[in-house]
């Protein structure tokens, strides 16, 4: 390489010596030139400093999928990563998370590749057709239906980042996506065979979007899984837990099977305005099913009322006319039911004519903001953390009491990974006196899902060791947090379940930011 050395970067590498079963860190100062990839830097270390460093690599150009590693906490291909673009003078390189390490950066890929054996990753055609045909012609438009899904290089980054893959029944994002690639292929005649291996396990996906977010080929893995669920739902061969959720929404417009007339019971002593029966207001608070009905998370809805009143915000709700936003329903594959719910809520929003819609739940927030048909209406939808962070910035939030605890923030996937809102919740927390905010190793974009998304909060049937929430609470305990703060009712319930499973209720508690903030205001 002829270009000049731009800077020297300290490369710290997580090592593992399989013979001595020893984990340790090695640091090397690597001169970085323009155009150098992280793989070049690793090869430089191996050539110049330490020949014993082990990592996989082959093509050096993002085709072979060998060199997936964690770079400053984020999984990526070493050969696809320009060192200068990391804009960091110290880089931590670790083996892919969630995988068994063989040596240094080399992980065991057997479990990942074994998942492909549970689907058919070849075209399914009747024997006779294969024997007689010379070619299976396809029009360009038919090719386009699945082309993007063929770009997978099986690097296992999605599998490593996947919370559902903690349970070995789950096939992993790449494998569901590969299955879907054949389902979308007009030449394939194996649709029924292809749905079978997914019927029992596809429900473990939480739609956290990590697979799509980290895929070096930008493949919509998470979307493929939702589409496949849609096909499984159509066949009717779905677990009872999923069926129950969908039926409750059909009957009662909420997934927990509560009577719609009870939707405002959480607020019965609070005199909360409701529309269309009552008054109009600038802010329409969309409460969401969990905070409306679930006794634990009703406290979050009640906290919202206290906080908004403290800030003198004029708000209303849809009262009993608020229906499930449909996020979980849609991500469980019931698009038709989702559209019915959306149609109703849209007509209510239009009647209420509020300037903004404020949500408690990041799932409602995401779907009201980003999913058609809601998206097409361009309502001004805001999550409460954005709204309150603004108020903090304007000096309108004045916590009067201290909250002297060591708090870690768990990023809800639908707030963070799906909407890029990472700082607003932290701004609220750091505005609170006495609160010490500590970060878990996996935070912000690299956060790890609680395991509650896409309906799993109601259908959870994994053993405790294989649940993402247990993994996550262990991580919070590892940074000695006394409180896990989050900003999502599903994260609150799933993480609280894990606290109980781990029997650490005396060590750590789970709170929504609204609950913490409410207690500090006058």
Phi, psi angle pair for 70, to nearest 5°: -90, 125
Give least dist CB 95 to another protein, A. Answer: 12
Give least dist CB 93 to another protein, A. Answer: 15
How many Å apart are CA 394 and CA 300, to the nearest integer?
A: 23
Is there a contact between 388 and 181 (Cβ–Cβ < 8 Å)?
Answer: no
Rule CB under 8 A: choose which of 10, 17, 279, 465 binds another protein. Answer: 17
Is there a contact between 454 and 328 (Cβ–Cβ < 8 Å)?
Answer: yes
Rule CB under 8 A: choose which of 5, 7, 8, 18 binds another protein. Answer: 18
Phi, psi angle pair for 306, to nearest 5°: -60, -45
Closer residue to another protein, CB minimum distance, 50 or 505:
50
Give least dist CB 52 to another protein, A. Answer: 4
Is there a contact between 149 and 180 (Cβ–Cβ < 8 Å)?
Answer: yes
DSSP assigned state of 163 = S
How many Å apart are CA 513 and CA 486, to the nearest integer?
A: 6
CA dihedral 203, 205, 207, 210 (to 10 degrees): -170
| Strand, helix or coil for residue 161 | helix
How many Å apart are CA 455 and CA 203, to the nearest integer?
A: 8
Contact call for residue 102 and another protein (CB under 8 A): yes
Give least dist CB 80 to another protein, A. Answer: 20
Closer residue to another protein, CB minimum distance, 93 or 284:
93
Give least dist CB 15 to another protein, A. Answer: 11
Rule CB under 8 A: choose which of 19, 312, 503, 506 binds another protein. Answer: 19
Closer residue to another protein, CB minimum distance, 22 or 131:
22
The residue length of the chain stands at 522
Is there a contact between 115 and 171 (Cβ–Cβ < 8 Å)?
Answer: yes
Q: How many helices (H) and strands (E) does the chain have?
A: 22, 15
Query: Taking contact as CB under 8 A, which single stretch among the options 100-108, 142-150, 312-320, 361-369 is the one that binds another protein?
Result: 100-108
Query: Taking contact as CB under 8 A, which single stretch among the options 13-21, 178-186, 204-212, 230-238 is the one that binds another protein?
Result: 13-21
Give least dist CB 422 to another protein, A. Answer: 36
Is there a contact between 204 and 171 (Cβ–Cβ < 8 Å)?
Answer: no
Closer residue to another protein, CB minimum distance, 160 or 446:
160
How many Å apart are CA 204 and CA 429, to the nearest integer?
A: 31
Give least dist CB 94 to another protein, A. Answer: 16
Give least dist CB 53 to another protein, A. Answer: 8
Query: Taking contact as CB under 8 A, which single stretch among the options 17-25, 31-39, 244-252, 284-292 is the one that binds another protein?
Result: 17-25
Query: Taking contact as CB under 8 A, which single stretch among the options 12-20, 140-148, 287-295, 506-514 is the one that binds another protein?
Result: 12-20
Give least dist CB 106 to another protein, A. Answer: 5
Query: Taking contact as CB under 8 A, which single stretch among the options 2-10, 11-19, 246-254, 447-455 is the one that binds another protein?
Result: 11-19
How many Å apart are CA 139 and CA 226, to the nearest integer?
A: 26
Contact call for residue 295 and another protein (CB under 8 A): no
- Encode 283-333 in three state secondary structure: EEEECCHHHHHCHHHHHHHHHHHHHHHHCCCCEEECHHHCCCCCHHHHHCC
Q: Please count the residues of this chain forming the interface with another protein, following the rule CB under 8 A.
A: 14
Contact call for residue 106 and another protein (CB under 8 A): yes
Is there a contact between 460 and 370 (Cβ–Cβ < 8 Å)?
Answer: no
> Partners of 54 in the beta sheet?
none
Closer residue to another protein, CB minimum distance, 50 or 480:
50
Query: Taking contact as CB under 8 A, which single stretch among the options 16-24, 66-74, 199-207, 438-446 is the one that binds another protein?
Result: 16-24
232, HSE (Cβ side, Cα atoms, 13 Å): 28
Closer residue to another protein, CB minimum distance, 18 or 464:
18
Give least dist CB 21 to another protein, A. Answer: 11
How many Å apart are CA 15 and CA 23, to the nearest integer?
A: 6
Closer residue to another protein, CB minimum distance, 20 or 131:
20
Closer residue to another protein, CB minimum distance, 103 or 273:
103
Burial (CB < 10 A; 0-12, 13-18, 19+), residue 420, is exposed
Closer residue to another protein, CB minimum distance, 113 or 422:
113
Structure tokens, 201: 């396990």
Closer residue to another protein, CB minimum distance, 52 or 398:
52
Distances (CA, A) of 500 to 421, 449, 506, 513, 520: 29, 18, 10, 20, 26
Distances (CA, A) of 113 to 116, 147, 154, 175, 387: 6, 22, 8, 9, 45
Give least dist CB 58 to another protein, A. Answer: 12
> Partners of 24 in the beta sheet?
15
Site for another protein in 441-460 (CB under 8 A): none
Give least dist CB 42 to another protein, A. Answer: 11
Closer residue to another protein, CB minimum distance, 5 or 59:
59
Contact call for residue 502 and another protein (CB under 8 A): no
Closer residue to another protein, CB minimum distance, 55 or 414:
55
Closer residue to another protein, CB minimum distance, 43 or 86:
43
How many Å apart are CA 108 and CA 303, to the nearest integer?
A: 47
Give least dist CB 173 to another protein, A. Answer: 26
Site for another protein in 38-97 (CB under 8 A): 46, 50-55
Rule CB under 8 A: choose which of 14, 26, 60, 103 binds another protein. Answer: 103
> Which position has the token pair 């070849």?
122
Q: Which residues bind another protein (CB under 8 A)?
A: 17-19, 46, 50-55, 102-104, 106
């Amino acid at each position: 390489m002829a270009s000049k050395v731009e800077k020297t970067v300290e490369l710290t590498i997580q090592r593992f010596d399989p013979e001595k079963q020893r984990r340790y860190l090695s640091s090397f100062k690597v001169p970085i030139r323009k155009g150098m990839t992280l793989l070049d830097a690793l090869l430089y270390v191996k050539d110049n400093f330490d020949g014993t460093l082990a990592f996989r690599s082959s093509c050096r150009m993002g085709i072979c999928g060998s060199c997936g590693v964690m770079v400053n906490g984020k999984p990526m291909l070493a050969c696809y990563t320009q060192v200068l673009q990391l804009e960091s003078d110290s880089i931590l390189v670790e083996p892919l998370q969630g995988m068994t390490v063989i040596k240094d950066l080399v992980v065991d890929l057997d479990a990942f590749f074994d998942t492909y054996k549970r689907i058919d990753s070849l075209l399914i055609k009747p024997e006779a057709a294969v024997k007689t045909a010379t070619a299976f012609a396809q029009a360009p438009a038919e090719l386009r239906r699945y082309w993007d899904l063929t770009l997978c290089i099986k690097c296992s980054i999605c599998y490593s980042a996947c919370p559902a893959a903690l349970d070995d029944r789950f096939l992993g994002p790449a494998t569901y996506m590969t299955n879907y690639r054949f389902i979308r292929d007009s030449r394939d005649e194996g649709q029924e065979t292809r749905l079978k291996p997914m019927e029992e396990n596809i429900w473990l996906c939480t739609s956290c979007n990590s697979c799509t977010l980290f895929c070096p080929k930008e493949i919509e893995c998470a979307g493929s899984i939702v589409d496949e669920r849609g096909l499984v739902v159509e066949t009717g061969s779905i677990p009872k837990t999923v069926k129950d959720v969908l039926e409750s929404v059909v009957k009662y417009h909420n997934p927990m099977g509560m009577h719609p007339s009870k939707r405002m019971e959480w607020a019965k002593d609070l005199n909360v305005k409701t529309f269309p029966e009552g008054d109009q207001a600038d802010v329409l608070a969309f409460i969401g099913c969990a905070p409306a009905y679930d006794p634990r998370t009703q406290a979050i809805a009640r906290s919202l009322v206290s906080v908004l009143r403290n800030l003198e915000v004029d708000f209303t709700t849809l009262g009993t006319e608020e229906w499930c936003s449909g996020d979980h329903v849609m991500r469980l594959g019931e698009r038709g039911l989702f559209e019915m719910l959306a149609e109703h809520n849209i007509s209510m929003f239009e009647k209420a004519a509020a300037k903004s819609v404020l949500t408690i739940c990041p799932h409602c927030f995401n779907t009201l903001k980003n999913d058609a048909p809601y998206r097409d209406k361009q309502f001004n939808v805001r999550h409460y953390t954005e709204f309150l962070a603004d108020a903090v910035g304007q000096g309108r939030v004045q916590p009067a009491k201290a909250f002297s605890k060591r708090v870690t923030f768990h990023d809800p996937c639908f707030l963070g990974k799906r909407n890029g809102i990472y700082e607003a919740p932290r701004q609220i927390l750091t505005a609170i006196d006495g609160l010490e905010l500590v970060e878990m190793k996996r935070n912000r974009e690299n956060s790890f899902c609680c395991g509650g998304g896409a309906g799993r909060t109601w259908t959870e049937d994994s053993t405790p060791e294989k649940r993402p929430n247990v993994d996550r609470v262990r991580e919070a305990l590892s940074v000695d947090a006394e409180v896990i703060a989050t900003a999502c009712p599903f994260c609150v319930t799933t993480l609280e379940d894990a606290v109980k499973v781990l029997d650490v209720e005396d060590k750590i508690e789970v709170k929504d930011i609204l609950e913490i903030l409410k207690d500090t205001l006058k």
